[in-house]
Chains A and B, each alone.
Chain A
Amino acid sequence: MNGLRGTWHLVRVGLRLDRVKLPIAISAVCLMFFFTVSSVVDLYGSSPEGLINYAATSAPSVVGRVFAGPIHGPELGSVVLNEGFLFTALAVAFISTLTVVRHTRQNEETDRSELIGSMTVSRHAPLVAALIVALIANIAIAFLASVLMIAGSGGELSVGGSILTGVTLGAVGVSFASLAAIVAQLTDGARSANALCALVIGVAFLLRAIGDVTGDLVNGGLGVQSNFPSWLSPFGWGQQVYAFTENNVWILSLFVGLTVVCVGFAAFLMTKRDIGSGIFATKPGPARAKPSLLSTFGLARRLQKGIFRGWTAAIAVLAISYGLSLKEFQGFLDDNDEFREAISSISQSSDDINYIFLSVLIAFMGITVAGYVAQGLLRMRSEESTGRIESVLSTGVSRYKWMMSHIMYVLLGAIALTIVSALGIGLTYIITTSAPWDQLWDIIYASLAQITAIAAFAGFVIALFSFMPSLAMPLAWGGFASCIVILQLGVVLDLPQWIIDISPFGHLPAMPADSFQLAPAAWLTTAGLSLAVLGLIKFRRRDVVL
């Protein structure tokens, strides 16, 4: 075992470095899974009719097949898997790839590698150690997910199936960890390795989406038989296990096979590259800056561009799938009176069910744009905490100008994203349901009204950055998550008004079902502006905090 000298030491170092990060990520994902399982069991556990309805809507639906997968049939276990499996597996894949890249390429880039380099470790030890850390994380996921699934189902689902589901989730994670081990050998650094891993995950998601969408209806229209592309993706394999019905345990050997092949190949590639660089050589960049970069705003634009592009793509996809879902929603309402009643209560004045549903979707899009706002504005904080801000501020850029350049970019970006989301929802909705074209304006107005709540949220983040810099990041994302949870629960439950009032989005009328109200819009904007002004003043007066 001389070839792996130092591995155990590195595993211990790695687990120590991740002692906060991994437990939080793993428990967050598993808790989400638990809530999904228990709410599906609550809703459908004692309603065979509901299960049939669910399967009948879900099986033929394109959106359902893309974002949930190929439902097996009208069994409780199948519905639970359809609701909970894919997104959990997606999160597990990201946790796994990020972990491997963190402990391989990221280590090489930071001082940590110098620390490790001073110990005698063999060439392959860091890679093997990273994989072992990822394996331990996935064992924890498998265990926690199984236990929580058994607990969340309250005896309605078989214990064996729950364990198989947990193990499958862990197996998906291990497969992606071993794919990440290959990716980590290829790129020029950790950043591009993470980007390439995201692409690999995206392709794996897409392959099975194609296989599921082109699959055949079976079980009398209540199930889906996936086409072959689903079998080209670890996500697809995970879904084909069908733990509560077909119990395809043999599929686990596919994960094992993939992992063995990938790890072997990664170890081979590792011998072909230098530490700190990848198999693919880095292309040299420009030796001189373009004039467009050479200003405070030019720099902000360069730093913000990537964030904006990422959210544009995500929001366009989300908006289009929301738009598509409206047609299916109509079908769903036709045979579900209870839900029809529940959703009618959202609007004060209107009973146009399409518009009411649109108002919920538009509010979700508004909050999604607020997510962009949080990330864009928090870029200021990461500029500060990495010390890059010191180089800029010491050149004679005023703090006010520096901050305004980021705020202006993010504000314009948020308006652009709002319009993208309105067009995405509106166009797909009108085209697929043949609704009259003038409804597009109503959707655009309703979306633009969200900007007042987005502005209030932006003011909140700006104030956090200035007044509590070291806590700005967790508090801003916490605020964002609260807005989502409040809206989500607000649709399902009758939340007390004071809880809804915590979210700026809770103050807006349910447009386009209800009409625009000046008062909340005016005071949300005022609140956002005042917080932003206070933040600007405070930042001029506080220390730069690393």
Chain B
Amino acid sequence: MGNEKIIEVSNLVKNFGSFRALNKLNLEVNKGEVHGFLGPNGSGKSTTIRILLGLLSKSGGDAKLLGQDPWKDAVELHKRIAYVPGDVNLWPQLTGGESIDLLGNLRGGLDEKKRKELLDSFQLDPRKKFRTYSKGNRQKVALVAALASDVEVYIMDEPTSGLDPLMEAVFQKHIKELKNQGKTILLSSHILAEVEALCDRITIIRDGKTVQSGTLSELQHLHRTSIKAHTKDKAKKLKAKGVHNQRLTEDGMKLEFEVDSESLDKAMAELSKQNLVSLVSQPPSLEELFLSQYDTKSKASK
């Protein structure tokens, strides 16, 4: 797979009038990876995606898709990508099946077998008029149209926010299939379990800026591990640097704390001198990573 860059966004700026929606945002997606794109509402995910699709122009910085300029080379590029918008709005008077055929053909053709398979697995009735579909079914229409096209890159903007858990599983199955075929997927999402299950690497943004980027384990590495130690004798608090939030239980036999990953070694050495009965350690979940970003935000805005 190598390290061929499919999406390269650096220092991207977008102004809407005097409002700066993107403020030097960075995003890199390698070939063949599923890349999670996370951020609170209004952080600029959809704006970044619209720039990558050539729907919006950038105000500064650089954005490249498949090595080309998405604004100038929009038409050629679009034959090689499929897009699922966050708010799926199609023509109320067309049926789901008609919309799928139309979008697929405009993109240069649909895989008939795939189309049927997708309709079955998503349990979508293609004969209903678009206006009568629920939110989840509207998303299914866009998903079927995108997933049934054979392209190199799939760009999806919160594609599952209206799906029930059963359909979420179907969605994940199809994404894994694409990943096995070596396709590249940019997945903006709010559903952390989905990102944890699917994504090789993630980028977290806030206020139009990238705050974290890397593989899940890299990011977890940068964060605190939480430890619960059970000792035979009374436990003593640790003196090592990078240990936070130490809590002794009332009987004094249990010690809980969080530790920065770079100080883990020293903390464990100090801890092992005490008479340990059991030890539980937990890497941070994506949710905690994500929340810690929100935290900094609320602190910053105070």
Contact = CB atoms under 8 A, between A and B. Distances in A.
B114 interface: no
Contacts of B50: 390, 544
Contacts, number: 120
Nearest to B95: A285
Contact of B55 (A282, A287, A543): A543
Interface stretch (A77-85, A216-224, A288-296, A413-421): A288-296
Nearest to A401: B75
Give 3 nearest A-B pairs by CB, closest first.
A396-B78, A289-B101, A284-B127
Contacts of A287: 95, 97, 126-127
B171 to A, nearest CB: 19
Contact of B57 (A397, A398, A543): A543
B91 interface: yes
In this complex, the interface size class of chain B, counting residues with CB under 8 Å from chain A, is 35 or more
B129 A282 contact: yes
Contact of B102 (A109, A299, A393, A544): A299
A259 B125 CA distance: 40
A390 B85 contact: yes
B106 A392 contact: yes
A188 interface: yes
A387 interface: yes
Interface in B23-82: 50, 53-57, 74-79, 81
B98 interface: yes
Given A286-B98, A395-B103, A386 B89 contact: yes
A391 interface: yes
A397 B88 CA distance: 18
Contacts of B57: 541-543
Contacts of B90: 388, 391
Nearest to B56: A543
A189 B87 contact: no
A109 to B, nearest CB: 7
15 contacts: A282-B128, A289-B105, A293-B102, A302-B94, A387-B89, A393-B53, A393-B55, A394-B83, A395-B78, A395-B103, A397-B106, A541-B57, A542-B57, A544-B50, A544-B55
Contact of B131 (A109, A286, A299, A394): A109
Contact of A391 (B74, B103, B125, B126): B103
Given A387-B87, A394-B53, A285 B103 contact: no
B106 A396 contact: yes
B281 interface: no
B132 interface: yes
B73 to A, nearest CB: 11
Contacts of A386: 89
B107 interface: yes
Interface in A394-408: 394-399
B97 A191 contact: no
The A interface is mostly helix, strand or loop, or mixed, namely loop
A303 interface: yes
Contact of A286 (B74, B92, B95, B105): B95
A178 to B, nearest CB: 25
Nearest to B119: A287
B142 interface: yes
Nearest to B53: A394
A286 B56 CA distance: 34
Contacts of B126: 287-288
A387 B85 CA distance: 9
B242 interface: no
A277 B79 CA distance: 38
A102 to B, nearest CB: 15
Most chain A CB inside 10 Å of its own CB: which residue of B54, B57, B75, B128: B75
Contacts of B132: 188-189, 276-277, 282
Contacts of B87: 387
Given A282-B129, A396-B79, 5 more contacts: A285-B95, A391-B88, A396-B76, A398-B74, A544-B55
A289 B55 contact: no
Most chain B CB inside 10 Å of its own CB: which residue of A277, A286, A295, A398: A286
Contacts of A396: 75-79, 106-108
Contact of B127 (A191, A286, A390, A541): A286
Nearest to B92: A191
Contacts of B89: 386-388, 391
B81 A394 contact: yes
Nearest to A385: B89
Interface in A57-88: none
Nearest to A296: B106
B119 to A, nearest CB: 9
Contacts of A395: 78, 103, 106-107
A532 to B, nearest CB: 21
Contacts of B106: 294-296, 299, 392, 395-397
Contacts of A542: 57
A191 B94 contact: no
Contacts of B131: 109, 189, 191
Interface string B205-249: 000000000000000000000000000000000000000000000
A538 to B, nearest CB: 13
Given A391-B83, A394-B78, A398-B75, A284 B128 contact: yes
Contacts of B55: 390, 393-394, 543-544
Nearest to A282: B132
Contacts of A399: 74
B91 A303 contact: yes
B97 A288 contact: yes
A158 to B, nearest CB: 49
